[in-house]
Amino acid sequence: LPKLLAALLVLAVAYFAGRLLRTLVTVGLTNAGFNGVLAKMGIGKDPMDYNSLLGKMGIGEAPKEGTRTPSDIAGFVIFFGLMLFAGIESLEIVGFQALAQLLTRFVVFFGQVLLGLMIFAFAMFISNIVASTIRATGSPQSHALALVSRIAILVLAGAMALQQMGLAERIINLAFGIVLGAVALAAATAFGLGGRDVAAELWREFIASVRAKRRT
């Protein structure tokens, strides 16, 4: 009985501390402008609306109210992680070692998934900056090059994120190699077709200059 009470006390303290920390993180990130991170990443200008997302996916009709901002999500992740650690400690207190080890493995996997998602999110931010910079040059091929660069960055980041999550590394490496080779081949083909007329014109000018020198 004392061990059970101690375990419940750990959970209770973690719950109230997690709620407080969740509120502080949510408010702090909101005041710091963290909710605009999705727009900076090129996903959208509005906060993430899970209700409309479910409706678009066809899972069900979207409720009229209720949104979740990136700050809310960050606060919930911290609260959830704290409760997981408290759960592991509580299970060890009451002597459920097998369940504690199982939950520990889940925490490790959860951390890997979270880090993988952070890698991919950062890559989306970088790809948006690179694509915008390329389009700003105003060249005729700027939009195509921007698209190719964004796809290449996201494919590379996706492979890194999946490897970080530990999901079938050999399959990921093979798929990444195939996709990267296909992108390189497509880019080379597009460049060759687009520069064919220019190369032909330069070749004609070179031949004309050689013939002119021979005549003189």
pLDDT tens digits along 68-127: 778 888 888 889 888 888 888 888 888 888 888 888 888 888 888 888 888 888 888 888
Model pTM above 0.85: no
Work out the pLDDT band at 29, boundaries 50, 70, 90.
confident
DSSP state letter for 18: H
Every domain of the chain and the residues it spans:
1-95, 117-216
Nearest C-alpha neighbor of 88 from the set 77, 75, 78, 101: 101
* Average pLDDT score over residue span 130-137: 81
Q: How far is 10 from 173, CA to CA, in rounded Å?
A: 43
Contacts of 17 (CB under 8 A, 6+ apart): 82
C-alpha separations of 210 from 45, 198, 202 in Å: 58, 19, 12
Q: How far is 25 from 79, CA to CA, in rounded Å?
A: 10
Work out the pLDDT band at 56, boundaries 50, 70, 90.
very low
